[in-house]
Chains A and B, each alone.
Chain A
Amino acid sequence: MALLEIENLSVEFPTQGGIMRAVDGVSLKLEEGEVLGVVGESGSGKSVTMLALMGLVPFPGKVKADKLVFNGRNLLTMSDSERRKLTGKDVAMIFQEPTTSLNPCFTIGFQLAETLRLHEGMDRKAAHRRSIELLEQVGIPSAESRLSAYPHQLSGGMNQRVMIAMAIACNPKLLIADEPTTALDVTIQAQILDLLMNLQKERNMGLVMITHNMGVVAETAKRVMVMYAGQIMEERAAEDLFASPQHPYTAALLAALPERSEGGRLATIPGVVPGLYDRPKGCLFSPRCAYATDHSRNVRPELRPWAGGQIRCHYPLGDPSREANMKKDNPLGAEAAS
């Protein structure tokens, strides 16, 4: 049984200009102890997908799904209070900005103990002892004295460690890390990633690593999901995806990595992620795709199994009949593409 099963999840925000689809038909499965990397540009819906899982989609967003099952329990039919018993205990989340993610008015110790007392029913003393252990586990020196510190007295890296300690306090089965290193110094980034990976291995917990940094994904994830404009574009084993990207978007993202650049200039993807008003009729990536045809501009591709994973493209890069298909769909544009 999979730890997490999501089928056809969408999140919509009503705006003055109409309904904005932040997440559009996302389906994914995660096994126990698996590490999944979720990548995509800003606004691709990767954070909102996970917030929907946590039940934290900000007002006035609406969540819809065919299936949302965690650890064998249906999150869709669960009452709010039952769901709260799950969040923070079995599934926990850490965020991008550690310093603003901690309450400035309460001490580290209070915020840590709060989780323990709520979910584990610990008394003050037990929670205090456990808090010290947790801070030591996440590598905070002189843990006991730090308990009485306020978030503004610690550095960003330290605060992120506190956030991690808080998240793993109740031994969650799934940890969602939403760009956990983006706001930190490069040297600290590596430390925090190491810490997360060690904790993941030790406890065999599922880990979803949301990032826009392909390097982070390559170092951590076994499986990678590439998102674009709220949709999954490609989802495959990390090794395969890096070796032979199947979706033109994935290929373009990888080509934009500095270490893969050839010559003096970095490759870029022209254009921006479509917004509310310029959402294409066909494939959402078609306006920026070098291989777009009349067919892909008019017909939106379905998410389908491909090369050991899933893909949402009419013409996957590894498809032997790709050129023939493109020629058939768009005789005029085919020469330019090849």
Chain B
Amino acid sequence: MLRFILTRLSLIIPTFIGITLVAFFLIRLVPGDPIETMAGERGIDAARHEQLKKDFGLDRPLIVQYGYYIERVLHGDLGKSIVTRETVLNEFQSLFPATVELALCAIIFALLVGIPAGIIAAVRRNSIFDHGVMGISLTGYSMPIFWWGLILILLFSVQLGWTPVSGRIDVLYYIEPVTGFLLIDSWFSEDEGAFLSAVGHLILPTIVLGTQPLATIARMTRSAMLEVLGEDYIRTAKAKGLSRFRVIFLHALRNALIPVVTVIGLQIGVLFTGAILTETIFSWPGIGKWLIEAIFRRDYPVLQGGLLLVGAIVMSVNLLVDLTYGFINPRIRHNR
């Protein structure tokens, strides 16, 4: 097990180098620079432009800039936003809970719906329910997030008026960020209805962000269950006279969850990518929206630092998921 963790950890270094390279050079391939975008349509005179470029260190050759950047990162300094002059780490910390809140709700939604749907589809294979679930999940999987989000807003917010269009909470409420998680903060706040407002604002983004993981998890659960239900030990469990419920939800599900957990781990990356689109559509003040704005403003430090932090989180979650295999699958626990 220790060797396994060390192997995985050693892979992190090249991955980080890769992320810094991509983040650093790709954004500089985009025409324009932060000073131009800050000046906007009024423009800026050439001398002032040069002066500001020099102040930010953007006049030096790219490779030198990269060197300085890496040196600072190694000292734990991710730099300051060119636009807001706030440190990248501070901005990240204040926005991160919003994304986590959304991503957690989305993955919980995906698990709560996806796993039971997959199980029932497998148990009733070739039934109408099975074909329905598989058809819907294929549709959900192929649905572009931006389109799906707009359709839901159009239906539930504009036509029916059931849910708010955007944001995390109604403007009537001001909630002091204690944990940063609005559901928790609003629950403990004095304001009546703040919690409900926060929940209402979460519903559509959760569905939009959770749809793709939901489809993947449902399909994976179904195929894993189908495979497991044909195994000899399921026949043994039935031969013992165990109830159908116990055979399916204990003997079969325990085994079928092993590949499903792998897929859930991989969904973390999907959630962050999805968050960029979802947060933009719903004006959700999280990491995704922050990164998109950083691209538009050519805010190099924010983009570089943000991507690095997101990368670190995705990798740690994946490592954690790998480590949980041992708990679910005794064969792995004893082999390592």
Contact = CB atoms under 8 A, between A and B. Distances in A.
Contact of A106 (B230, B238, B244, B254): B254
Interface string B234-277: 01111111111000000100110000000000000000000000
A226 B20 CA distance: 73
B331 interface: yes
A105 B238 contact: no
Contacts of B231: 100
B76 to A, nearest CB: 43
A115 B242 CA distance: 8
B232 A97 contact: yes
A309 B127 CA distance: 46
B334 A150 contact: yes
A103 B251 contact: yes
A150 B241 contact: no
A174 interface: no
B232 A115 contact: no
B61 interface: no
Interface of B is mostly: helix
Choose among B230, B233, B244, B330 the residue with the greatest number of A CB atoms under 10 Å from its CB. B233
B64 interface: no
Given A104-B255, A106-B254, A85 B241 contact: yes
Interface string A97-124: 1001111111000000011001100000
A103 B242 contact: no
Contacts of B334: 150, 152-153
A6 interface: no
A302 to B, nearest CB: 33
11 contacts: A56-B238, A56-B239, A81-B243, A87-B239, A101-B236, A103-B236, A104-B255, A104-B329, A106-B254, A114-B240, A118-B241
Interface of A: 54-56, 58, 80-81, 84-89, 92-93, 95, 97, 100-106, 114-115, 118-119, 150, 152-153, 163, 166
Interface of B: 230-233, 235-244, 251, 254-255, 328-331, 334
The 8 closest A-B pairs by CB, nearest first: A88-B241, A88-B240, A100-B232, A103-B233, A87-B241, A84-B241, A101-B232, A105-B254
